[in-house]
């Protein structure tokens, strides 16, 4: 199936061909079309939808329990985050670092 981004779009107001660009928000590349004449911008619907999903997850505050496993502790990552990140298999290695006092970062994709 063809992606809508492969097609040219005409500006509804100016009737001029738009140019393809992209913007980056919170690490997301969002494909856009921009009218050179009036400056109107259209976002790719799939990219915009994915960014909206990310923002909804970002606003949530997940509370998870720490569990003792052998000599270490573990915390579960909510399934909503795992699905959004597209992780499909168990046992995947992730990067973890102490970012500052009281803040630990987990990098899911390398």
Which CATH number characterizes residue 35's domain? 2.20.25
- pLDDT of the residue at 1: 62
pLDDT band at residue 110 under the 50/70/90 scheme: low
User: Same domain, yes or no, for 74 and 54?
Assistant: no
H/E stretch holding 103: strand 103-107
Nearest residue to 75 via CA among 96, 56, 55: 96
* Total number of domains constituting the chain: 2
Q: What is the pLDDT of residues 31-64, one digit of tens each?
A: 999 999 999 999 999 999 999 999 999 999 999 9
What is the span of the domain harbouring residue 40? 4-59
User: Same domain, yes or no, for 72 and 38?
Assistant: no
User: Same domain, yes or no, for 12 and 54?
Assistant: yes
User: Same domain, yes or no, for 70 and 55?
Assistant: no
Contact 74, 67 (CB under 8 A): yes
Averaged confidence pLDDT in the chain: 92
User: Same domain, yes or no, for 51 and 20?
Assistant: yes
Read off the pLDDT of each residue in 60-81 and give the average, rounded to a whole number. Answer: 94
H/E stretch holding 82: helix 79-85
């Amino acid at each position: 199936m063809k992606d809508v981004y492969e097609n040219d779009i005409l500006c509804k107001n100016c009737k001029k061909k738009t140019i393809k660009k992209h913007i980056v928000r919170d690490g997301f590349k969002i494909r856009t079309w921009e009218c050179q004449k009036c400056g109107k911008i259209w976002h790719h619907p799939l990219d915009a939808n994915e960014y909206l999903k990310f923002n909804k997850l970002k606003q949530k505050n997940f509370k998870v329990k720490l569990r003792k496993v052998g000599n270490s502790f573990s915390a579960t990552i909510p399934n909503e985050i795992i699905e959004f990140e597209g992780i499909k298999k168990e046992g995947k290695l992730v990067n973890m670092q102490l970012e500052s006092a009281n803040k630990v970062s987990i990098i899911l994709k390398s």
